[in-house]
Structure 1
Amino acid sequence: MTTRLVLISPALSRALREARFDDGAPLEPAGLAAARAAAGAVPDAARVVHAPTVRCRETARALAPADAEITGAPALAALDVGRWRGRTLAEVSAAEPDAVRAWLSDPGAAPHGGESVRELCARAGAWLDAAGAQDGRTLVVVEPELVRALVLRALDAPGAAFWRLDVPPLTATVLSGRAGRWNLRVGGEL
């Protein structure tokens, strides 16, 4: 039994374009159009799963075939950035430079009062372990930080590598494996 997870980052939204911690904004019209245009490049899948954010849900609907069953996965929620939600990274960096520095250098830090990168990676890892028991291909539309966390878990990489992975909008990263051993095909544009 082989599991294939096609991790797809969402299309462009205002928050993503502005380097703003997700504020629940929908996709921009250009982002939605790009997702619809990319639909033909997405492989057929037995399942389509998305993170609960608006932009992930909208991207999944734009990419999935009309007859596909699309489900949300609360375990794939975006990183909880607490009181930083809705603010830009530049705003937070100007107001709390030491907190941002700690957050970007220590996977266990959560100066925003939300979830640490370490906690996110543990949550994503538990989801990956369960998903590994499903045969076939699953499209998984998740925020970039979830792609990072899932890749770290699949490769058994340290949390310090989290911020060294870039995940552009509308790219696919494929994890395939069986019996808990994962292979990685790095992100390709859709």
Structure 2
Amino acid sequence: MTVRVMLISPAMNAALREARFAGDAPLDESGLKAAGTAAPYVPAADLAVHGPSERCARTADALGVRSAGEPALRDWELGRWSGARLDEVSAREPEGVAAWLADPAAAPHGGESLLDLCARAGAWLDSLHGDGGGRVLAVAEPSLVRAAVVHALALPPQALWRLDVAPLTLTELGGRSGRWNLRVGRPLAARPVGRPA
């Protein structure tokens, strides 16, 4: 059975604005306003879930999406680097950052490797075909959206570094385990998408 998975990245907050690793923080006023403006354009779904971070939960609320928390959609676990900026970590641990960027199995921060992240995102994505198909909407961290795309298209893990996911964009995957198609992210704006007439 095929499924349509609609991944929405969370609205802006201070951690995203400052490019912090896995920095969960409340949405700021601009993020709340942007999510409220985007709410009419959120596609309809049979199942709605959100990552366990405050950022994802508040984005879902501001979008008017009634969703359940989904632990598999948690942000990339970056151990002792969590909450720090890349420039800070690069200054403290240049060899660790170099290894992390070059080797998908490396986890110098003590958290998940890139391979682990992609496997987690892929396992969640592939589990959805067992729900009988339909439309699944997930408010998910940008790292999770990127990892899901890498898995769905069977890209090498390092391709994740070449994918950008802007706040409040929709990335769509359609298909089933082992056979996914990508509809590249688009802003939640301009016209309602997927709403029944």
User: Which TM-score applies when normalising by structure 2?
Assistant: 0.91
Give me the whole-angstrom Cα distance separating, in 1, the residues matched to 2:129 and 2:99. 33
Deviations 1:45-80 (A, max 9, x none): 112111111101111111134xx3x10111111111
Q: Which residue of 2 aligns with 1:165?
A: 163
TM-superposed CA distance for 1:133, in Å, is 2.5
1:17-166 to 2 correspondences below 5 Å? 17-65=17-65, 68=66, 70-134=67-131, 135-166=133-164
Deviations 1:8-61 (A, max 9, x none): 111001000001112321111110110111011111111211111110111111
Letter in structure 2 aligned against 1:112: H
Give me the whole-angstrom Cα distance separating, in 2, the residues matched to 1:61 and 1:46. 17
**Contact 2:122 2:148 (8 Å CA) reproduced:** yes
Q: Give the number of equivalent residue pairs.
A: 187
Gapped regions of structure 2 (runs ≥ 5) = 189-197
Matched position secondary structure for 1:133:
helix
**Contact 1:132 1:180 (8 Å CA) reproduced:** no
Deviations 1:109-165 (A, max 9, x none): 111011101001111111111112332111111111101110011101111111110
Give me the whole-angstrom Cα distance separating, in 1, the residues matched to 2:126 and 2:176. 10
Runs of 4+ aligned structure 1 residues displaced above 6 Å come to none
Give me the whole-angstrom Cα distance separating, in 2, the residues matched to 1:93 and 1:132. 40
Q: Which residue of 1 aligns with 2:173?
A: 175
Letter in structure 1 aligned against 2:165: V
**Contact 2:14 2:27 (8 Å CA) reproduced:** yes
Letter in structure 2 aligned against 1:131: L
Percent sequence identity over matched residues? 59
**Contact 1:11 1:59 (8 Å CA) reproduced:** yes
Give me the whole-angstrom Cα distance separating, in 1, the residues matched to 2:176 and 2:21. 35
**Contact 2:126 2:177 (8 Å CA) reproduced:** no
Matched position secondary structure for 1:139:
strand
Give me the whole-angstrom Cα distance separating, in 2, the residues matched to 1:165 and 1:23. 19
Give me the whole-angstrom Cα distance separating, in 2, the residues matched to 1:146 and 1:108. 17
Q: Which residue of 1 aligns with 2:195?
A: none
TM-superposed CA distance for 1:179, in Å, is 5.6
User: Which TM-score applies when normalising by structure 1?
Assistant: 0.94
Compute the RMSD of aligned alpha carbons.
1.2
